[in-house]
């Protein structure tokens, strides 16, 4: 409910990216933890690359 109210308020929900650090980071696994890590690394200005062995992201949430 709170997310619906926030979304309907019309305020843009764009995440800002930090100043580019020039560093690249490999994130192994596209599960919830890997995707969250990549998101926060990008917000800090790093350039994450996510590697996943399976055809779709999601980890155990996707593949159980």
Give me the pLDDT at residue 11, please: 72
Nearest residue to 28 (alpha-carbon basis) of 3, 52, 59, 57: 52
pLDDT band of residue 64 (cuts 50, 70, 90) is confident
Give me the pLDDT at residue 31, please: 95
Query: Rounded mean pLDDT of the chain?
Result: 89
What is the mean pLDDT of the segment spanning 21-33? Answer: 96
Give me the pLDDT at residue 43, please: 92
In the predicted structure, residue 17 carries a pLDDT above the cut 90: no
Nearest residue to 63 (alpha-carbon basis) of 28, 37, 27, 31: 31
| Residues 6+ away with beta carbon under 8 Å from 29 | 50, 51, 52, 59
What is the mean pLDDT of the segment spanning 10-27? Answer: 85
């Amino acid at each position: 409910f709170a997310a619906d109210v926030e979304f309907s308020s019309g305020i843009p929900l764009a995440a800002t990216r930090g100043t580019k650090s020039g560093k690249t980071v490999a994130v192994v696994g596209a599960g919830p933890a890997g995707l969250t890590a990549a998101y926060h690394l990008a917000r800090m200005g790093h350039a994450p690359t996510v590697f996943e062995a399976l055809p779709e992201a999601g980890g155990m949430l996707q593949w159980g």
